[in-house]
Every structure is written in C-alpha cells, then in structure tokens.
Amino acid sequence: MSLDRTSPKPGDLIEIFRIGYEHWAIYVGKGYVVHLAPTRETARGGVSGFSSVVGNRAIVKKELLSVVAGGDKYRVNNKNDKKYNPLPPNKIVQQAEKMVGKEVHYSVTRNNCEHFVNKLRYDIPRSDQASMHQFPRGAEAGKVTEGVFPRMGSSRIFMFVGGQAVVTKETLRDATWGCLYQVNNHLDHKYRPLPVDVIVRSTEKTVGDKRTYAVICDNSKRFVIDLRYRRVHRMLVGPIF
C-alpha cells in the first residue's frame, strides 16, 4: 500500500519498507517494477535473501509492484533528483527492461538493490543505506570485521573483529555524531509495541552485553525492533536489499 497515495510514473524509484531494511525497485509502467532480487524468494514476494547474498548473486526481475511489495508499505522516492539529473523516463525504462532476466553480482556495500535503481535513474550507482551503515572499505556480507553502525534507541551498536558487538548507552548527541536522525516507529501499524517502561527496562538490562553481530540477520535495527516489539523481526530474515 502506498504511504502517500502517489501514483508512480515510469522511471520513478519505489522504496518498499521491509522489516529491518528498505527494498528498492524502479517503476516501468502498467503496474510493473524492475528490481534486483535474490535468486530465492519467499512466496509473498519479499526477500529471504540469505543464501543468494552469501553467494553474491542476484537476478533482475520484472514483477507487479503489488506482488513485490506484498503487504508492506511503499512510496515513490526520487530523493536524489536535487543532486543528480535523472535520465529521460523512456531511457530509464528501456535500460531497466534490457536488464530483466540477467543474473548479476550482488554486494551489500557496492551493488545492492538501491545501487541498482539509482544507476538506472541517474547513471550513478549509490546507496544511502550502505553509506549510512558506514561499512568499512572492502566489507562484504558475512565478512565485515569492523565498523560503526547507526542506532535507533538508547544504545549504539559497535561491531568488532570476529563479528562481535557490544551494547553501549550514550547521550543521543554523542551517539549521532552530528548526523541527521529521526524518530521512526514505522512498524507500529503492524505490531503493538511493548509498554514504554518495559522497553526501557529491557534496554537498560542489555547495556554492556557482548553479542554476535551479523549484517544480514542480527544488526542494530533488528536489535531495537526486538526490544520494541519482542522479536517480531525473527519472522523474516533479509539483507539490506
């Protein structure tokens, strides 16, 4: 379901809100989108993604937006139009259609679904999700050894060598390092959050804990979703696709 009820036009970027990440597609008309998908998908059209990302392969698919989104919210989001000049819509669609059916290299940090659609619209591959997570140079899914990741709650997650993380408690100002941030409880329409005192108490108890860290299935966003909704993120396993 569209968040803003905006009807997409050919060449528009579509942002689909999964649990723990955003999936991106490009609208090509008549209800269809082209997107970078894992070689294995769940029946609902969502991304399971673990096996294909570990194998570093993905396939370009053309599917109905309603099928790709499933029950998830989505919106038209051409957020980089102020930075880059988009290509003509007919050229965007033509290039997207030519890619359909091709199997391509997948990289969480250098060639994910967001890189893919931005390349088609602006001829510039970029991913704000990858940049936001500050992946270290040369990092790959399952191989990340060091980095600082954003947080959505009282604690920021640090990942250390060996895929380990520690929960820390800091002021919001220190944790954001001067970066922009927003309150984003976007799953409240799907799941009932726990009482505030329960969330805070549970969060405080985790401070100082050392945990296994995995970009795909146990990252900072999933950590805070766990605390707010009590493990609903375990229902899905997906990368930052």
The arrangement of strands across the sheet holding 147-148 comes to 147-148, 155-160, 164-169, 210-212
**Sign for the pseudo-dihedral over CA of 173, 176, 177, 178:** negative
Do 224 and 152 meet the contact criterion of CB atoms below 8 Å apart?
Answer: yes
Task: Please say whether the dihedral angle defined by the alpha carbons of residues 190, 191, 195 and 201, taken in this order, is positive or negative.
Answer: negative
Tokens coding 18: 């999964």
Ramachandran class of 179: left when φ > 0, alpha when ψ lies in -120 to 50, beta otherwise: beta
Helices (H) and strands (E) in the chain, counts: 8, 10
Report the distance separating Cα 5 and Cα 26, nearest Å: 17
Q: Nearest-CA neighbor of 9 among 85, 83, 90, 105? A: 90
As annotated, the active-site residues are: 23, 35, 113
CA distance to 63, 80, 155, 162, per residue, from 33 (Å): 6, 19, 37, 38
For 10, how many CA atoms within 13 A lie in the half-sphere containing its CB? Answer: 14
